[in-house]
Structure 1
Amino acid sequence: MSDTPGARLQTLFDGHRLTPTQRRIAHWMVRRAADVPFLSSVELAELAGVSQPSVTRFAVALGFDGYPALRRHLREVAPAEPGRPAGDGAAEGPPANEYQQAVHAEIENLRHLAELLADPAPVERAGALLAASRPLPVLGLRAAAAQARGFAYFAAKVHPDVRLLDEGGSMLTDRVDAAVRAGATALLCFALPRHPREVVEALEYARGAGLAVVTVADSAFAPVAGHSDVLLPAAVGTALAFDTACAPMLLGRALLEAMCDGLPDAQARLEEFDAGAAARGLFVE
C-alpha cells in the first residue's frame, strides 16, 4: 500500500466494524486526509454531514478516549503534505462559483485516486481475475449502470464473453447462475451511491456461488465492502444536485488496461475490430 496520508488513515480504520454513520466519517477523513488532523470535531461533523457526538463516538470506536486523542494520533501518522494547501486545491483568486467548486472537488477526487494507484498491485490483481473469467459478468444498477455499461462496451472488444448485468429484479440471480454454469470465475461490480440493497444481496449470492468479486465503489467503507474480494475505491463528487463519477470512470479504464495485460490476444482483437470498422465505414473520420 502507498505511504500517503489517505493510505495511513485507511490502515487505521481497517479491522473495525463501523456503523454507516461511522463509515461516512471515515470516508470523508480519507478524502480530506491532508486537512483532517487540524479539524475540530465540529468541523469534521459538518464536513461529513453528521452530528458532533457521532464524531466523538467514532473516535471511541477506534479505541481512543475521544476525538482530541484521535486528532493527536492523526497529526503523528497522517501529517499534511509539505507545501500542499488545505482545502479543495483551487487556485487563489476570486471565489469559485458552484460549478467551479464541483470541478475542483472532482480534481481532488482524481488526485486522491492517483495516490491510491501509486500501489498498482490491487488493480493488477483485479485485472488478472477478470481476464481469466469466461464469461465475465459486469454488474451495475441504478446510478452505477452507466459505469458498468461503459466498461462492458470496451471490455467486449478484447474479452471473448462479457455479460452486462444492469437490470435488477428476480432475474438477476438467474443471470449470475447462468454465468457460473458457463464457467465464470469472477464478477466485476460498480457500486455507487445510493447503494441498492439488491446489489449487496447479489454480491453475497455471487460469492456464495463461488465467484471472486471485484468491486469499484465510491469508498472503502461502502456497504458492498464486506462482499468483495478486491475493493477498488474511487470517490464520487457530491457538490452538485446529482453525484459525479469521474474518478470511478477513470478507475474503470485503468482496470480495463490491467485486464488487457492478462489477455494475450487483446491487441489482435482490437486490430481485428478496427479493420472491420473501417471496412464497414462505422466511424466518420
Structure 2
Amino acid sequence: MHRQNDLMKRINNSYPKLSKGQKLLANYILEHYEKAVFLTAAKLGKIVGVSESTVVRFANELGYDGYPKLQRALEELVKTKLTSFQRVEVTSDRIDKNHVLKSVLQSDAEKIKHTLEEIDEDIFNEATSMILGARKIYILGVRSCASLAGFLGFYFNLIFDNTKLIHTNSVSEMFEQIYRIGPEDVVIGISFPRYSKRTKKAMEFAKNRDAQVIAITDSYLSPLIQFADCSLIARSDMASFVDSLVAPLSLINALIVALCIKKQDEVLDTLENLEKVWSEYQVYDNEEDYNMNYNIQSKNNTDMLE
C-alpha cells in the first residue's frame, strides 16, 4: 500500500482486535477523516460517544505514541486526499473570518517554528555538500512549487554555472530536459501536498540513473522520500485551497545562504561583475533615477498648487 495510506492500513489491520468503542472511532475516522483531523481527543471522543482515554488507547493500539502522533498521520492523509474544493470546506472553521490577516500570518509563523524544531541540521549540511560536489544541478518543481523552484534557480544561477531549472508542465519535455542525468549529478525535487506525479516520476528516473537526489517536501510520508538520498523537511499546511509555502521558502533561503558562505569568494566576484552589467544596462533604479523622479514629481505638485 502507498505510504500516504499508512493510517488506513493500520486501522484495517488492527480492526478485528479493537474494542467496541475503538471500532466506533475507527469507523468515524474512515468515513470522516477530513473532519477528524481538526478535533482534539476530547472532542473526537464526545462526537463518537466514548471517553477521551479511549481515544488515547485507540491511538496506542494503532501503534502511535499518543493522540498527537495519530493526528499528524491524519493530517498527512487529508493533505493527499482532499480536493481544492474540499480543502476550502474543511478549513473554513480554522480561520477567524474577522481577522484573516492575523490568522494566516500566525499560522505561517507556526510552520516556520515547527520546521526549525524538527529539521535535522546534519542532513541539511549533507545536502549542501552534495550540491557543492555536483557536476550539474537540476531543479524541479511544478504547479505551486514552480515558484519555489524558480526562486532557488535564480540564486543558484548566481552561485553556480552548472544549474538547470526544469520549467515545463509537459511530462515528455520534462524527461527530454533530464535524460542526460548521471551519477555525478544532483537533482533537487520540490513537492508539497497535493504531491505532483510529474515531480515524483522525474525523481524516480534520476534515482534509476544513479544521480544523487535531494527532496524538499513536508513529511517523511511524502512519496518523494522513497527516491531521495537526502530529505529536507519543511512544514506545509492548508489555510484554504492556498498552499502555505512560507516554511519551505525559508528553508530554501537557508540553503542558498549556506552555499553562498561556502563559495563566498566566487559569489563576490560574480556579483561585482554583474553590478557593472546591471549598471551599464540600467537593470535597477539607482539613486540618480530616484532623485530625478523625485524632482519631477515635486515640480508637478508645485505647478498644481500654482
TM-score (norm 2): 0.63
Where 2:139 maps in the other structure, the secondary structure is strand
Evaluate the alpha carbon distance shift between residue 170 and residue 112 of structure 1 in structure 2; reply closer, same or farther with a 3 A threshold: same
Asked whether 1:22 is paired with 2:10, we answer no
Query: Hey, what does 2:195 align to over in structure 1?
Result: 195
Alpha-carbon distance change, 190 to 73 in structure 1, aligned in 2, over 3 angstroms: closer
Runs of 4+ aligned residues of structure 1 deviating over 6 Å after TM superposition are 40-43
CA RMSD of aligned residues (A): 3.6
**What is residue 247 of structure 1 aligned with on the other side?**
247
Q: Which whole-Å deviations, capped at 9, do the CAs of 1:148-184 have from their partners, x for residues lacking one?
A: 011001110010121111313112222212343xx85
1:139 maps onto 2:140 in alignment = yes
1:174 correspondence with 2:176: yes
Native 8 Å contact 1:123 1:258 kept in 2? no
Task: Give runs of aligned pairs for residues 75-90 of structure 1, distance below 5 A.
Answer: none
Which residue of 1 is the match for residue 113 of structure 2? 111
**Alignment-derived partner of residue 207 in structure 1:** 207
Question: Conserved in 2, the CA contact under 8 Å of 1:98 and 1:239?
Answer: no
Q: Percent identity?
A: 17
Deviations 1:171-216 (CA, angstroms, capped at 9, x unpaired): 2222212343xx8521111112211212111111101111111111
Call closer, same or farther: CA 1:100–1:133 in 2, change over 3 Å. Answer: same
Corresponding residue number in structure 1 for 2:226: 226
Q: How many residues were matched structurally?
A: 225
Deviation at 1:275, TM superposition (A): 3.0
User: d(CA) in 1 for partners of 2:146 and 2:97?
Assistant: 35
Which residue does 2:37 correspond to in 1?
48
Alignment partners' CA distance in 1, 2:176 and 2:243: 30
Give unmatched runs, 5+ long, in structure 2.
Answer: 11-24, 46-53, 70-95, 287-306
Q: Is the 8 Å Cα contact of residues 138 and 188 (structure 1) preserved in structure 2?
A: yes
Instruction: Tell me if structure 2 keeps the 8 A contact 1:213–1:228.
Output: yes
2:159 and 2:266 in contact (8 A); partners too: yes
Larger Rg: 2
Q: Deviations over 1:198-246 (max 9, x none)?
A: 2111111101111111111122221111111111111223113311211
Q: Residues 80-100 of structure 1: CA distance to partner in whole angstroms, max 9, x if unpaired?
A: xxxxxxxxxxxxxx9962332
Q: Identify if the C-alpha distance between structure 1 residues 175 and 71 changes in structure 2 by more than 3 Å, giving closer, same or farther.
A: same
Q: Which moved more, 1:255-264 or 1:198-207?
A: 255-264
Distance in 2 between residues matched to 1:253 and 1:275, nearest whole Å: 25
User: Would the alpha carbon gap of residues 202 and 273 (structure 1) be closer, same or farther in structure 2, given more than 3 Å must change?
Assistant: same
* Secondary structure, counterpart of 1:220 in structure 2: coil
In the TM superposition, what is the alpha-carbon distance from 1:265 to its structure 2 partner? Answer: 1.9
- Asked whether the 8 Å contact 2:190–2:199 carries over to 1, the reply is no
User: Structure 2: how far apart are the matches of 1:164 and 1:275?
Assistant: 25
- TM-fit CA distance, 1:251: 0.6
Distance in 2 between residues matched to 1:278 and 1:160, nearest whole Å: 22
Residue 137 of structure 1 contacts residue 164 of structure 1 at CA under 8 Å; is this kept in 2? yes
- The residue type equivalent to 2:224 in the other structure is V
Q: Distance in 1 between matches of 2:166 and 2:148?
A: 11
- 1:259 deviates by 2.5
| Alignment partners' CA distance in 1, 2:229 and 2:98 | 40
Name the residue aligned to 1:163. Answer: 164
Q: Which amino acid aligns with 1:103?
A: L
